[in-house]
């Protein structure tokens, strides 16, 4: 049985810890490996390695850094099949979905290949008599990322790519549930020509999270996970004077107006709700139908689509989605379905009793559809994070805008309509960070930026794009003047200078 340690100075090393976490095969339910739960002493060795590597890396010109990032991209592409299979075997998502996970992360690596342009500062010639002013975007030093189980390739790449390209050293603390892909990404960075010690991985639990927050030489923390932990990390980062971007949970709403193309809306929402077994922070688990007639049409269209979904093992090419990540998470999602029914939701399709022949111990859950969900239900307020779609009914667009705007989470939302004016009004007024118009999962492309509002995000700077460049750099502004030999100083040196 494989025991995964840490990645330090260009190679995987054994941990000194005697604590371990189980790595499951979600298809069979069997433990397929162990991951070391490291301690603060091990983190110290990694930080010291990162400090040494970063001091040299930040002085390498941006063109050379960009070439290494370009080669990193090429290495990931060349090893796509290996990475996708590794990801599916630990997470449970299908091979096709795993490839999508990796590809969306690769888009950010592609973006930072343009770092010579994106990291440029500003310059004003002649801001005063003989005075020029210019700014530079300097790296922070050693930074860290803490990533969740549901995107073990994409989110680490969202963080490490801009951090490394801008001249920082990066320490990754991935999820204990699926740690193999993050280790492999660090190896590929070395194979791409990246300096040893610059991209390190430490596996662990809360002990390592706290050690990262408390370490004086770690200048910034990027986090993606649940909202409670996001808030904890953000507060800890503030306490210890670190920059932080902390992305939390979500409860994304899909608004359907009566004039929507119902066939397309049903197909789009089907994938957005049930893809990756609903284990996406940008999944669409709530549909808000404007009018009872709209709800009935939607149910009529989506019911046969749900009934034809194929749940299978992650390597089944015909499977629409695979198992949940752990038995504990499956039990949690099942309990949320129980609670929704107890709260008064109408169960239209029940996925709780699904079993796969030959995989009776796998963490499979069939697609579930609930109707008549209301705003006072706990299961509406909380993130279910599984293959469960909830239907709500409202009377007007105004009511539909109100629901996502007043929800505790504000990650993403979507509206399905043929009315441009209604879509424009919705996009302008809804209190959510990312909006789709006839797009069910509005994750922005890599040269824009990702980030929610309210309890979906803590911090002022979003993930990737130019926001990512800004997060991993700090501005230094230089005001300069060069004297001629015969220049004479005129003016009062004790008065604040004006130009």
Q: Which of 477, 485, 416, 466 is nearest to 114 (CA)?
A: 466
Q: Could you tell me if 36 and 131 lie in one domain?
A: yes
Give the 3-state secondary structure of residue 353.
coil
Has residue 488 been placed in a domain?
no
Phi-psi label, residue 241: left if phi above 0, alpha if psi -120 to 50, beta otherwise: left
Burial of 231 (0-12, 13-18, 19+ CB in 10 A): middle
Tens digits of residue pLDDT in 18-57:
999 999 999 999 999 999 999 999 999 999 999 999 999 9
Position 1 scores a pLDDT of: 86
Longest dimension (CA), the chain: 92
Position 154 scores a pLDDT of: 98
Q: Could you tell me if 411 and 463 lie in one domain?
A: no
Has residue 443 been placed in a domain?
no
Tens digits of residue pLDDT in 82-115:
999 999 999 999 999 999 999 999 999 999 999 9
Q: Could you tell me if 226 and 327 lie in one domain?
A: no
Pairing mode of beta strands 453-454, 218-224: unpaired
Position 493 scores a pLDDT of: 66
Has residue 498 been placed in a domain?
no
197's tokens? 């010690």
pTM confidence score: 0.95
Residue 498: is its pLDDT beyond 80?
no
Cβ neighbours of residue 375 closer than 8 Å, sequence gap 6 or more = 392, 403
Tens digits of residue pLDDT in 246-292:
999 999 999 999 999 999 999 999 999 999 999 999 999 999 999 99
**Residue tagged active-site, from 113, 160, 246, 281:** 281
Q: Could you tell me if 17 and 129 lie in one domain?
A: yes
Residue 427: is its pLDDT beyond 70?
yes
Has residue 494 been placed in a domain?
no
Residue 222: is its pLDDT beyond 90?
yes
Q: Could you tell me if 470 and 347 lie in one domain?
A: no
**What end-to-end distance do the CA atoms of the chain give, in Å?**
70
**Which residues constitute the domain of residue 309?**
253-437
Q: Could you tell me if 238 and 287 lie in one domain?
A: no
Tens digits of residue pLDDT in 464-496:
999 999 999 999 999 999 987 666 666 666 777
Q: What is the DSSP letter of 493?
A: T
Number of domains in the chain: 2
Query: For residues 455 and 249, is the Cβ–Cβ distance under 8 A?
Result: yes
Has residue 483 been placed in a domain?
no
Pick the residue with more confidence: 395 or 494?
395
**Total residue count of the chain as it appears in this document:** 499
Helix 206-214 × helix 40-57 angle, to 10°: 50
Domain CATH number, residue 239: 3.40.605.10
Residue 78 parent element (H or E): helix 62-78
Q: Which of 315, 310, 225 is nearest to 275 (CA)?
A: 310
Rg (CA), the chain: 25
Position 495 scores a pLDDT of: 74
Phi-psi label, residue 20: left if phi above 0, alpha if psi -120 to 50, beta otherwise: beta
Q: What value does the mean pLDDT of the chain take? A: 96
Query: For residues 130 and 481, is the Cβ–Cβ distance under 8 A?
Result: yes
Has residue 451 been placed in a domain?
no
Position 348 scores a pLDDT of: 98
Q: Could you tell me if 279 and 379 lie in one domain?
A: yes
Q: What percent of the chain has pLDDT over 70?
A: 98
Has residue 276 been placed in a domain?
yes
Distance, CA of 91 to CA of 410 (rounded, Å): 26
Helix 80-91 × helix 95-112 angle, to 10°: 120
Confidence grade of residue 499 (pLDDT, cut at 50, 70, 90): low
Residue 325: is its pLDDT beyond 80?
yes
Distance, CA of 255 to CA of 9 (rounded, Å): 49
Tens digits of residue pLDDT in 52-84:
999 999 999 999 999 999 999 999 999 999 999
150's tokens? 């549901």
Position 484 scores a pLDDT of: 77
Of 437, 470, 489, the last residue of a domain is 437
Q: Could you tell me if 137 and 152 lie in one domain?
A: yes
241: number of Cβ within 10 Å: 8
Q: Could you tell me if 228 and 327 lie in one domain?
A: no
Has residue 446 been placed in a domain?
no
Distance, CA of 90 to CA of 270 (rounded, Å): 24
Query: For residues 240 and 214, is the Cβ–Cβ distance under 8 A?
Result: yes
Domain CATH number, residue 332: 3.40.309.10
Q: Could you tell me if 266 and 211 lie in one domain?
A: no
130: number of Cβ within 10 Å: 13
Has 113 been annotated as catalytic?
no
Q: Could you tell me if 115 and 44 lie in one domain?
A: yes
Q: Could you tell me if 244 and 264 lie in one domain?
A: no
Position 488 scores a pLDDT of: 62
């Amino acid at each position: 049985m494989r025991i995964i340690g840490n990645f330090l100075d260009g190679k995987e090393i054994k941990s000194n810890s005697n604590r371990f976490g189980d790595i499951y095969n979600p298809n069979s339910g069997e433990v397929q490996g162990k991951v070391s739960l490291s301690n603060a002493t091990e983190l110290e060795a990694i930080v010291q390695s990162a400090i040494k590597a970063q001091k040299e890396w930040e002085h390498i010109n941006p063109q050379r850094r960009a070439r290494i990032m370009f080669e990193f991209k090429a290495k990931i592409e060349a090893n796509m099949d290996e990475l996708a299979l590794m990801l599916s075997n630990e997470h449970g998502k299908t091979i096709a979905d795993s490839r999508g996970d990796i590809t969306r992360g690769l888009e950010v690596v592609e973006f930072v290949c343009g770092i010579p342009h994106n990291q440029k500062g500003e310059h004003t010639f002649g801001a005063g008599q003989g005075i020029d002013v210019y700014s530079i975007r300097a790296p922070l030093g050693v930074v860290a990322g803490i990533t969740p189980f549901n995107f073990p390739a994409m989110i680490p790449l969202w963080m490490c790519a801009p951090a490394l390209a801008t001249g920082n050293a990066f320490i990754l603390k991935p999820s204990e549930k699926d740690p193999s892909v993050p280790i492999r990404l660090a190896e590929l960075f070395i194979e791409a020509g990246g300096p040893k010690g610059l991209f390190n991985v430490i596996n662990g639990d809360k002990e390592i999270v706290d050690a990262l927050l408390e370490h004086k030489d770690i200048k910034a923390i990027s986090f993606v996970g649940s909202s409670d932990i996001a808030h904890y990390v953000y507060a800890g980062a503030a306490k210890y004077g670190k920059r932080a971007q902390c992305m939390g949970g979500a409860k994304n709403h899909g608004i359907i107006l009566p004039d929507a193309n119902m066939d397309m809306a049903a197909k789009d929402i089907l994938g957005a709700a049930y893809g990756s077994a609903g284990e996406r922070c940008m999944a669409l688990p709530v549909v808000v139908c404007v009018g009872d007639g709209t709800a009935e049409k939607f149910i009529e269209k989506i019911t046969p689509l749900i009934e034809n979904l194929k749940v299978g093992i992650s390597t089944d090419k015909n499977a629409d989605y695979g198992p949940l990540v752990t038995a504990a998470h499956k039990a949690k999602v099942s309990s949320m379905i129980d609670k929704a029914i107890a709260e008064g939701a109408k169960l239209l399709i029940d996925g709780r009793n699904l079993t796969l022949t030959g995989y009776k111990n796998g963490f499979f859950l069939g697609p579930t559809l609930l109707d008549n969900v209301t705003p006072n239900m706990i299961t509406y307020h909380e993130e279910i994070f599984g293959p469960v779609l909830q239907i709500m009914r409202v009377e007007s667009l105004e009511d539909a805008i109100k629901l996502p705007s007043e929800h505790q989470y504000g990650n993403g939302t979507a509206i399905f309509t043929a009315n441009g004016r209604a879509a424009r009004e919705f996009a302008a007024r809804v209190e959510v960070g990312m909006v789709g118009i006839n797009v069910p999962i509005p994750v922005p492309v890599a040269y824009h930026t990702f980030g929610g509002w309210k309890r979906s995000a803590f911090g002022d700077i979003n993930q990737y794009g130019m926001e990512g460049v800004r997060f991993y750099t700090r501005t230094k502004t230089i005001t300069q003047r060069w004297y001629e030999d015969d220049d004479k100083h005129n003016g009062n040196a004790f008065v604040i200078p004006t130009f």
